[in-house]
Amino acid sequence: MKIIIHGGFFSESDQSHEVKTAKQNSLKEIAQKSFVYLQSHSAFDTAAYAVSLLEDDPLYNAGIGSQIQSDGIIRMSAAIMNGDTQRLSGVINIEEVKNPVFVAKGLIGEDDRVLGGLGAKQYATNHGFENFSTEIPQRRREYEAKLENGGKGTVGCVAIDKEGKLAVATSTGGKGFEIPGRISDSATVAGNYANNFCAVSCTGVGEDIVSNATAAKIVTRVTDGMSLEEAFEKTFEELKMIDGFAGAIAIDHNGNLFHKDSYPTMVFASFDGTSFEVFS
């Protein structure tokens, strides 16, 4: 059993040492809580749980603390994928729910498993998700300043459970000040993908991640026999060709963990029940 999570990127130029330390402590705590949860739950359930904790922390650009789009409205996207069943479900540009990842998870048993906009919100309302504003004052100030300090951030979790099953979940509050209706990578197989061999969650610039098909490429290459590290190296070399801004976390079916970013520093933490690795 292992878990790895990410919380987007950290910029030395626009975030303080205090924020960096807060993110390190937060990620370590969430990784540990999620590992404890994994003891009695599947990788699929744990991935959603971990991402919900990240959505609930205003340090990150997902759920509470999501970025505001150019028309002043927050729209969020999230997805989850069960590596064992190879089912992905997600929501795109959903408004006014606390935890988009739980709405995405709820869709896993539906025939129509990826919903957008008003349809996603209506589904959430019909299934008992209450209206909830995820806006915090800091994000409004950034919006009013045209996001001078806006980050390229998404949150995600990859987990492998005691049965060796893999799952991934990813959630984002967008890039900030984008054109309304813009779709990120998070609810696509480019940013969130898993099967029985590997699971990957990405963060960064969604357009770059989609153009490179990053998560799907890594998983496919591991499935075809590459090591996890080799799959990452080849995929990120291809990302360089478009000067892509991305980071990714992954676990393979042997329990190997790997992470990489094209423009440091992606914030992440992993825990295997004994030792932590936290970004520095």
pLDDT at 214: 98
Answer whether residue 146 is part of any domain: yes
Choice among 46, 134, 154, 214 that is catalytic: 154
Tell whether 154 is covered by a domain: yes
Binding residues for substrate: 182-185, 203-206
The pTM of the full predicted model, rounded to 2 decimals, is 0.94
Full domain range(s) for residue 36 = 2-68+79-87+134-278
Residue 10 covered by a domain: yes
Is there a catalytic annotation at residue 154? yes
pLDDT of residue 176: 85
pLDDT at 12: 65
Provide the annotated binding site: 182-185, 203-206
> For residue 147, what pLDDT is reported?
47
Q: Classify residue 184: in a domain, yes or no.
A: yes
Give, to the nearest 10 degrees, the angle between helix 17-38 and helix 43-55. Answer: 150
Phi, psi for 218 (deg, rounded to 5): -60, -50
**Does a structural domain hold residue 11?**
yes
Three-state secondary-structure class, residue 212: helix
Q: Please list, in sequence order, all residues whose beta carbon lies within 8 angstroms of the beta carbon of residue 189, skipping any fewer than 6 positions away.
A: 88, 213, 215, 216
Chain-centre distance for alpha carbon 249? 9
pLDDT tens for each residue of the chain, 280 residues long: 999 999 999 876 668 899 999 999 999 999 999 999 999 999 999 999 999 999 999 999 999 989 999 999 999 999 999 999 999 999 999 999 999 999 999 999 999 999 999 999 999 999 999 999 998 887 788 777 654 444 457 999 999 999 999 999 999 999 888 999 999 999 999 999 999 999 999 999 999 999 999 999 999 999 999 999 999 999 999 999 999 999 999 999 999 999 999 988 999 999 999 999 999 9
Beta pairing partners, 144: none
Number of structural domains found in the chain: 1
Q: Encode pLDDT of 137-176 as tens digits.
A: 877 887 776 544 444 579 999 999 999 999 999 999 998 8
**CA dist., res. 204 & res. 226, Å (int):** 24
3-class DSSP state of 260 = strand
The residue to which tokens 């940013």 are assigned: 191
CATH of the domain at 18: 3.60.20.30
What pLDDT does 120 receive? 98
